[in-house]
């Protein structure tokens, strides 16, 4: 029996998907406040160095190295919706400590580090479970549509969120504005509780077949699936390279705009919001691009676009830094969203259900594991060679990110391939 009773309307008639979509929308809009607020707290209220500033991003990303692979095993062993709900509640509690500490004049950079690390741990489990949960909620042929709709919410939040967040932060100050993000996580958990469709039963270990597989052996299965797959491997390498070099620049980007270019929080928020039109545009046209150019060509085109993101900012003169920031965010957002919609859908479609958690965790470990390295390098380079020179290093490195996928069998794909069986 199809999951969507009216194929002509697709997922718009799928009540459980709509509930999931609503929860995601509430959460990502609230998260926009924190994404801008925490760096601005450090840049404006605390006298931090470039390295200390970059460390904010590092502590949040370290869990993706330490916990991603075990998280994949647990996501494949347990039902995924309870994991999602628990992670939302945990992140809400962690974020709420910042406005509380600020109200008592007790907020320090160390608390920002702790909150970043704690929310990063919960985000590891949430992200792995979230991408593994969607294939059990919608039909295989609806994956691109489902990921596109979820991306519309993230795109709309990127378009409207920075401007609204900048204005909100300007009115009530950054620490207090983060209360909104804590509430948004509670809202996301409430929507997840309302989903009625039961998850498929989790396969239980049959004692007659031998001992329970160890954590290590199950982790290795996931890693071998990703690194040995002719389509998944180049996707991982391309994403990992872009994350590595992109974070050289991203680590100090806001600090660069505030200190070297003298931009205010409100002006930064406006520039990011205008540039984020690219994110929304990509979410709306990704399906049509894939239908017209084919899956492989669309993936390659998207990498070419987002590889130019930092070059625009690096080359901009002082009087053009605001439009350059807008164009940079547009290119990175458009290319990145088209890439993510299609590569995530491809990964979900070609991986067996029992490997979804470990596949997503292994992919996260590889492609997100390069982010702390890039952030750390960006912080060190920002201190040693200066903020602008560091932007240039990240821009030049990002130009090679498209090569692994462009030279792989991915370029030959026209439509979504059938799943392979796990060995």
pLDDT of residue 319: 81
Residue 7's pLDDT band, with cuts at 50, 70 and 90, is very low
pLDDT of residue 101: 86
Closest CA to 113 of 21, 203, 51: 51
Task: Determine which of 93-97, 203-207, 326-330 has the lowest per-residue pLDDT on average.
Answer: 203-207
pLDDT digits (tens, 9 = 90+) for 227-253: 989 999 999 999 999 989 988 888 888
Q: How many CA atoms lie within 13 A of 82 on its CB side?
A: 9
For residues 393 and 402, what is the distance between their CA atoms, to the nearest angstrom?
A: 17
Task: Determine which of 11-15, 31-35, 282-286 has the lowest per-residue pLDDT on average.
Answer: 31-35
For residues 360 and 130, what is the distance between their CA atoms, to the nearest angstrom?
A: 10
Average pLDDT, the chain: 81
pLDDT of residue 1: 33
pLDDT of residue 339: 92
The SS3 assignment for 173 reads: coil
pLDDT of residue 279: 77
Closest CA to 72 of 217, 183, 179: 217
What's the mean pLDDT in 359-363?
87
What's the mean pLDDT in 119-138?
83
Residue 260's pLDDT band, with cuts at 50, 70 and 90, is confident
Residue 302's pLDDT band, with cuts at 50, 70 and 90, is very high
Task: Determine which of 53-57, 78-82, 217-221 has the lowest per-residue pLDDT on average.
Answer: 53-57
Top-confidence residue, 415 or 410: 410
**8 Å CB contact between 358 and 300:** no
Residue 423's pLDDT band, with cuts at 50, 70 and 90, is very low
pLDDT of residue 237: 93
pLDDT of residue 160: 67
Q: Is the pLDDT of residue 359 over 70?
A: yes
pTM recorded for the entire structure = 0.69
Enumerate residues 6+ apart whose C-beta is below 8 A from 279: 154, 155, 158, 159, 333, 334, 336, 337
pLDDT of residue 369: 77
Residue 172's pLDDT band, with cuts at 50, 70 and 90, is low
Task: Determine which of 182-191, 242-251, 281-290 has the lowest per-residue pLDDT on average.
Answer: 281-290
For residues 186 and 200, what is the distance between their CA atoms, to the nearest angstrom?
A: 26
What's the mean pLDDT in 306-329?
87
Domain 10-196+215-412 CATH (choose: 1.20.1250.20, 1.20.1080.10, 1.10.1240.10, 3.30.1490.20):
1.20.1250.20
Q: Alpha helices of 251-320 — where are they, by DSSP H?
A: 253-255, 265-275, 277-293, 295-306, 309-315
What's the mean pLDDT in 136-149?
79
Enumerate residues 6+ apart whose C-beta is below 8 A from 220: none
Q: How far is CA 155 from CA 19, 32, 124, 334, in A?
A: 18, 11, 21, 9
pLDDT of residue 126: 85
Per domain, the residue ranges of the chain are 10-196+215-412
Most confident of 40-44, 106-110, 121-125, 401-405: 401-405
pLDDT of residue 232: 93
Enumerate helices (H) and strands (E) in the chain, giving the number of each.
19, 0
pLDDT of residue 164: 67
For residues 130 and 20, what is the distance between their CA atoms, to the nearest angstrom?
A: 10
The token pair that represents 191 in the structure block: 């929507």
Residue 158's pLDDT band, with cuts at 50, 70 and 90, is low
Closest CA to 136 of 354, 286, 343, 295: 354
Residue 174's pLDDT band, with cuts at 50, 70 and 90, is low
pLDDT digits (tens, 9 = 90+) for 261-271: 877 777 887 88
The token pair that represents 120 in the structure block: 């990063």
Please name the helix (run of DSSP H) or strand (run of DSSP E) that holds residue 387, with its range, or none.
helix 387-398
pLDDT of residue 231: 92
Q: Is the pLDDT of residue 205 over 90?
A: no
Residue 51's pLDDT band, with cuts at 50, 70 and 90, is confident
**8 Å CB contact between 243 and 371:** yes
């Amino acid at each position: 029996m199809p999951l969507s009773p009216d194929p002509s309307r697709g997922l718009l008639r799928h009540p459980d998907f709509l509930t999931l979509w609503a929860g995601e929308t509430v959460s990502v809009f609230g998260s926009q406040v924190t994404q801008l607020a925490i760096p601005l707290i450090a840049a404006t209220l605390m006298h931090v160095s470039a390295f200390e500033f970059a460390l904010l991003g590092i502590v949040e990303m370290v869990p993706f190295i330490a916990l991603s692979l075990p998280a994949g095993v647990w996501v494949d062993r347990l039902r995924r919706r309870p994991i999602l709900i628990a992670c939302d509640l945990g992140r809400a509690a962690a974020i709420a400590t910042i406005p509380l500490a600020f109200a008592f004049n007790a907020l320090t950079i160390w608390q920002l580090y702790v909150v970043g690390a704690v929310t990063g741990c919960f985000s590891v489990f949430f992200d792995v479970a979230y991408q593994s949960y969607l294939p059990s909620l919608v039909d295989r042929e609806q994956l691109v549509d489902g990921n596109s709709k979820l991306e519309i919410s993230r795109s709309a939040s990127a378009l409207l969120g920075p401007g609204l967040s900048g204005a909100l932060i300007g009115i009530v100050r950054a620490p207090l504005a983060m209360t909104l993000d804590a509430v948004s996580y509670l809202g996301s958990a409430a929507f997840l509780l309302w989903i009625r469709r039961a998850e498929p039963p989790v396969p239980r270990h049959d004692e007659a077949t031998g001992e329970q597989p160890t954590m290590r052996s199950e982790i290795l299965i996931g890693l071998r699936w990703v690194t040995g797959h002719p389509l998944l491997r180049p996707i991982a390498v391309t994403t990992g390279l872009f994350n590595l070099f992109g974070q050289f620049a991203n680590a100090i980007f806001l600090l660069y705009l505030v200190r070297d270019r003298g931009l205010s929080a409100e002006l930064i928020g406006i520039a990011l919001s205008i540039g984020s039109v690219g994110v929304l545009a990509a979410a709306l046209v990704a399906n049509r691009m894939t239908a017209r150019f084919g899956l492989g060509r669309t993936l390659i085109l998207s990498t070419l676009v987002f590889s130019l993101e930092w070059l625009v900012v690096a080359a901009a003169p002082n009087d053009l830094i605001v439009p350059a920031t807008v164009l940079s965010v547009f290119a990175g957002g458009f290319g990145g969203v088209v890439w993510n919609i299609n590569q995530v859908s491809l990964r979900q479609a070609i991986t067996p259900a029992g490997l979804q958690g470990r596949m997503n965790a292994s992919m996260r470990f590889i492609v997100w594991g390069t982010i702390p390295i890039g952030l750390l390098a960006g912080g060190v380079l920002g201190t040693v060679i200066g903020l602008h020179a560091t932007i240039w290093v990240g821009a030049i490195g990002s130009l090679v990110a498209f090569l692994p996928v462009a030279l792989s069998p991915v370029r030959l794909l026209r439509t979504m391939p059938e799943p392979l069986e796990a060995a």
